[in-house]
Structure 1
């Protein structure tokens, strides 16, 4: 077996070609870097004009670099920012730190290529701001992240607008609920100390609770002594309806007011008796008009 030995001239030629290739690659890299350098200010200016800042985190060295826009969002300067992960986390609202830490941790543990997270930051003057951070991870040949780069955007106004919309929606919901409450349990003042509540439709457990609360409040506010529950509009009675009527009447009597049931249909009365309701605990009148006369006479006593 023989071994080929290159001549000095051949080695010199290969070395020259290698140097030439290295020079070409270096020139190409320099040109690309120069082009990126020319483009970067334009990119940063465009992002900055939109209120978006750029940042990088050199993970092995634990060095964070922020553009001026990110510093402005956090209310910091280059002199007041520690440029490391510990100082960054100190700027995150304590209640949101676990959210940010979990998002960043997934880059390491699950090798996710990027993450997006919204959280609050606390400025040095105590002002709270909402930001959205988006990061992209760079991994080495072994899959270990060595750099994160991304953008930060101030979304405080968007969050505030969302909160205002939610508050307005809640006001609408509350107003609708109050309207339904008034429709479901209307109070009609008859005299200085007498009230009537006409009930229409099925008296469910939920509605019975609403009726009870509304009626008790009205009795207390008006110091009512006589209350008429008109059930002309109640189509049928089952255990739930009967229990609801009893609870309403008992609650009113506990406040010292008399209760009269008016407009009871024969089928409803029979159903109440069959269900074991003691009708002797109620004053019953044929219709609302009769109930009003009853309340007027009681008030004159």
Structure 2
């Protein structure tokens, strides 16, 4: 009798222990289920706060679901958007539509299940927004696609800032180029009828063209009668330099102005002669002061 009662007590204890264990397992399962249910919500809230929208396309139902951030970016309400792929593609900028379709088709062709693309979208109010989108195609066990999901970020402000920075950089580059152009062919008015242009460095064909254009403009604008080309800073003369100087002198003389070369080093003069340059096109003076004196003297005639 005593043994039977002990066996029953042991059975009851074992049942209670099993029930307790079952309750613990059920509690854990319930907690994990709650965590799974809650996880997407706080993730969506986190992404929404960062301006990143989440979207999902149920392929079988042709139903697109957007998070609040996507709706806000696209300028639509959940009620006004039909949710079909065609409705979404109609909002994509017409110049980007084919490129986006191609990326999605590549994912379906199993070339790249994951894709990234930047494209523009036209909101119902006509505003154009720039977007970055990451997508991933999900397949079932048979390889059949059943869902396309991803995230979208509005980068319109970023693109605008990049464009503004690029425009500012281009303005700086243009200003620097203009400064270099002016330094490459500087004009110094010495008198109402006299201009001087000191040349420093090699006179390349491109620079010779710049010098000619600058001088012609200045001679015409100021009605100059005398032009002094100071070549003290020209280190050497080759065929290009000689041709450049000759072209400059001939162009200026066609406008009725006289040209003087000053500061010509002996080696430069010798090279010009050896190259067969017709020096009758120039008046030559030892230095800039000599050129100025020449211009003053001839102006009194």
Shorter-chain TM-score tier: 0.7 to 0.9
Aligned to 2:39: 39
1:204 and 2:204 aligned = yes
For 1:225-253, what per-residue CA distance to the aligned partner results, in whole angstroms no more than 9, with x for missing partners?
32111111111011121222223223333
Give the TM-score normalised by structure 2: 0.82
2:214 pairs with 1:214: yes
Instruction: Report the equivalent of 2:173.
Output: 173
Paired residue for 1:99? 99
Give a deviation string over 1:68-105, Cα, whole Å, max 9, x none.
21111111223433322222222222222233223222
Q: Secondary structure at the match of 2:231?
A: strand
Q: Secondary structure at the match of 1:78?
A: coil
- 5+ residue gaps in structure 1? 1-27
Q: 1:14-163 to 2 correspondence within 5 Å?
A: 34-163=34-163
Report what 2:249 is aligned to. 249
Secondary structure in 2 matching 1:203: coil
Instruction: Return closer, same or farther for 1:29/1:185 CA change in 2, 3 Å cut-off.
Output: farther
Q: Cα deviation per residue 1:35-62 (whole Å; 9 max; x = unaligned)?
A: 4332222111111111111101123433
- What TM-score do the two structures reach when normalised by structure 1? 0.82
CA contact (8 A) 1:51 1:154 kept: yes
Q: Retained in 2: the 8 A contact 1:107–1:145?
A: no
Uncovered stretches (5+) of structure 2, i.e. residues with no partner: 1-27
Q: Secondary structure at the match of 2:112?
A: coil
Cα deviation 1:177-197 (Å, max 9, x = unaligned): 222222222111111122100
Q: Which residue of 2 aligns with 1:271?
A: 271
Would you say the 8 A contact 1:63–1:83 is kept in 2?
yes
- Partners of 2:208 and 2:240 lie apart in 1 by 9
Residue-by-residue CA offset, 1:139-182 (whole Å, 9 max, x unaligned): 23444433210111111121122122222222222222222222
8 Å Cα contact 2:227/2:257 also seen in 1:
yes
The alpha carbon displacement at 1:276 in A equals 2.5
Partner Cα separation in structure 1 for residue 254 and residue 61 of structure 2: 75
Q: Kindly tell me: are residues 136 and 179 of structure 1, through their superposed partners in 2, closer, same or farther at Cα, counting changes over 3 Å?
A: same
Counterpart in 1 of 2:289? 289
Largest Rg, 1 or 2:
2
Is the Cα contact below 8 Å between 1:118 and 1:132 reproduced in 2?
Answer: yes
Change (3 A) 1:136 1:224: same
CA gap of 1:100–1:248, structure 2 versus 1, over 3 A, is: farther
* d(CA) in 2 for partners of 1:94, 1:225: 61
Judge conservation of contact 1:262–1:284 (CA < 8 Å) in 2. yes
Partner of 1:186: 186
Q: 1:224 is paired with a residue of what secondary structure?
A: coil
Count residues with an aligned counterpart. 274
Higher mean C-alpha deviation, range 118-127 or range 253-262: 253-262
SS of 2:298's equivalent in the other structure is: helix
Counterparts in 2 of 1:207 and 1:33: CA distance versus 1, 3 Å: farther
Residue 15 (structure 1) aligns with = none
3-state SS of 1:126 partner: coil
